[in-house]
């Protein structure tokens, strides 16, 4: 949810939605992995691992990743791809 917008049932809503996406032939699902844009404080933040447990397709993670953060997600298997919205140097 953007900034402080949210709902007490956000976890159930997002997990239901990600399960339903398994029925579609999607190229990937892009998930914001972090709290860079705020959080509504109506429960514990969700993690990529929670989505990975429910989604069988390709997950792209993003949220201010450094190269090291992206590699950690990929090596842990919670993301298949990493997106960068700002320059990343090696």
Question: What pLDDT digit, counting tens, does each position of 18-56 carry?
Answer: 999 999 999 999 998 865 555 556 567 788 999 999 999
Share of the chain above pLDDT 70, in %: 76
Q: Is residue 5 part of a domain?
A: no
Residue 39's domain comprises 27-90
* Residue 14 structure tokens: 């997002």
44 domain residue, yes or no? yes
For the chain, what is the domain count?
A: 1
pTM: 0.80
3-state helix, strand, coil split of the chain in percent (to 5) is: 30, 10, 55
């Amino acid at each position: 949810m953007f900034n402080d917008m949210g709902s007490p049932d956000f976890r159930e809503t997002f997990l239901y939605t990600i399960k339903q996406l398994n029925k579609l032939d999607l190229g990937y699902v892009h998930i914001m992995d972090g709290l860079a844009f705020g959080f509504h404080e109506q429960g514990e933040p969700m993690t990529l691992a929670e989505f990975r447990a429910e989604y069988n397709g390709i997950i792209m993670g993003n949220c201010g990743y450094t190269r090291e953060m992206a590699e950690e997600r990929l090596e842990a298997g919670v993301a298949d791809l990493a997106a960068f919205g700002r320059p990343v140097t090696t």
